[in-house]
Structure formats: C-alpha cells, structure tokens
Structure 1
Amino acid sequence: MISATKPFVKFHRYDQELASDIQALNASGYHKDDIWVLKWNPDKNHSNQRDNYYKYSTHFESAVGNIDSKAHFFDNGGEELRTRLEKLGLTKDEASALVRELQETDYTCLLVVRDLKDNIIKMND
C-alpha cells in the first residue's frame, strides 16, 4: 500500500554515510519495505556519456555494511529511476527533477524513505 504522504528523499553518495543513515533508520524501527536506495547507472541509459561513465563506474564508492538486507536497492538508468520514484509516491515532474539533479551533481544515489518521522537522519547541507 502506498502512503498518501510524499516520501522523504535525500541525495547521497554510495558510501559510509549512506550505510549509517540506513542503520539509523533500521534502529528507529523502519523496515526494508520503507527504505529504498536508488542508484543512477549511466551504463543502463541509452545515451553514451563518457564523463558520467567515468564518474560513476571508474570511481564507484563502496558502502560499508550489508545494505541489501536493510533497504531495497535499485540500480538502473534515468527512465527507470523516474518510474520507480513515481511508484514510491512522487509526481512525474518531481521524479524528473530529482533524476536530472542526480545526473548533474556528484551524488550517485537517492535515499528514499516512506513516512519519515522526526530527525532520524541529517538533511543535505
């Protein structure tokens, strides 16, 4: 069942901070079904963008810990990310804006949390 409220979205790098945020969510009672890590993978896009391939494939950061058991992990191209964000409760325009920003910044993934309460994890600066 999809919630009527918008999910919380945080830009991330696939690194220790992401693993720490997921651990904090799990410790606060959030389950795997409420937590999604959406990683943009330019190899799965139709366009061949050398700069993005270099940025995401050659210098891929490693997250510490077993994230797969604590959150859903989605690794795909732009169109698939937009579709997944819409399924998680965002509008088509919101999803497109987030994917575009993800592609234009040095972030590599989005952390999406359904019904986030309190200040369990730190917001982006």
Structure 2
Amino acid sequence: MISATKPFVKFHRYDQELVSDIQALNSSGYHKDDIWVLRWNPDKNHSNQRDNYYKYSSHSEDVIGDIDSKAHVFENGGEELRTRLEKLGLSKDEASALFRELQESDYSCLLVVRDLKDNIIKMSN
C-alpha cells in the first residue's frame, strides 16, 4: 500500500550506521514493510545483463547485521532502482534526481522509510 505522503529518504553507506538506523526504526514500531534499503549495483546496469536473475534480485549475499529480516533490501541496476523509488511514492523526476545524486556521491545505498514520524533517526550525515 502506497502512502499519500512522500517517503523519507536518507543517503547511506552499507555499514553499521545503517544497521543502527534500522534498529532504531524497528524499536519505534516500524515494520519491515515500511523500511527499504536500496543499493545501487553498477554491474547490473548493463542491458545485456538484465536477465531474470538481475531483474528479480532482492538482496546481496553480504547483508550486514541481519537487516534483511528488519527491512526490505533491494540491490539492482539504475533503471530498476529508479522504478522501485517510484513504487515507494516518489515521482519519476524525484527518483531520477536521487539516483543521480547517489551515483555522484560516495554513498552506496538509500534508506527509504514510509511515513517517518518524529526524529527517530538522524536526518543527515
């Protein structure tokens, strides 16, 4: 179910701080369906590699801190990542802008939270 409000998006590295943010969200009552970790894998951007394995890949083998049981982990190429952002409630332009910013930064993933309330996690790094 998509919310009428825009989801909260935070740039992250795939590290212990991400695990801490997810644990804080879980402790505050957020469930796995409200929390998404979107990892960009540039190796999955090439159209010749977009077979079903890549298209339907949900997470990598090196999930840290068992976050795949606490949040949805999605690792894929650029087009799939932008599409997932749109499905989570962002416009096509917003999704493209976030993906471009992710590509140009030293971050490796986005933490997306539906209906974030209060200051459960630090807003920026």
Which TM-score band (shorter chain)? 0.7 to 0.9
Give the counterpart letter for 1:4 in structure 2.
Answer: A
Aligned partners of 1:21, 1:124: CA distance in 2, in Å? 12
- 1:89 Cα offset (Å): 0.1
Give the counterpart letter for 2:91 in structure 1.
Answer: T
Give the counterpart letter for 1:40 in structure 2.
Answer: W
- 1:43-82 → structure 2 map (5 Å cutoff): 43-46=43-46, 64-82=64-82
- 1:73 Cα offset (Å): 0.3
Per-residue Cα deviation, 1:32-57 (whole angstroms, up to 9, x for no partner):
0000000000010118xxxxxxxxxx
Q: Is the 8 A contact 1:6 1:114 kept in 2?
A: yes
Q: Is the 8 A contact 1:13 1:107 kept in 2?
A: yes
Corresponding position of 2:42 = 42
Gaps of 5+ in 2: 48-61
Q: Does 1:4 align with 2:1?
A: no
Aligned partners of 2:94, 2:2: CA distance in 1, in Å? 17
Aligned partners of 2:97, 2:113: CA distance in 1, in Å? 18
- 1:123 Cα offset (Å): 1.2
Q: Does 1:111 align with 2:111?
A: yes
Corresponding position of 1:56 = none
Gaps of 5+ in 1: 48-61
Aligned partners of 2:9, 2:114: CA distance in 1, in Å? 9
- 1:124 Cα offset (Å): 1.3
- Number of residue pairs aligned between Structure 1 and Structure 2: 111
Corresponding position of 1:101 = 101
Give the counterpart letter for 1:97 in structure 2.
Answer: A
Corresponding position of 1:14 = 14
Percent of residue pairs bearing the same amino acid type:
86
Q: Is the 8 A contact 1:18 1:63 kept in 2?
A: no
TM-score by length of 2: 0.86
Segments of 4+ moved more than 4 angstroms: none
Across the aligned residues of Structure 1 and Structure 2, the Cα RMSD in angstroms comes to 1.3
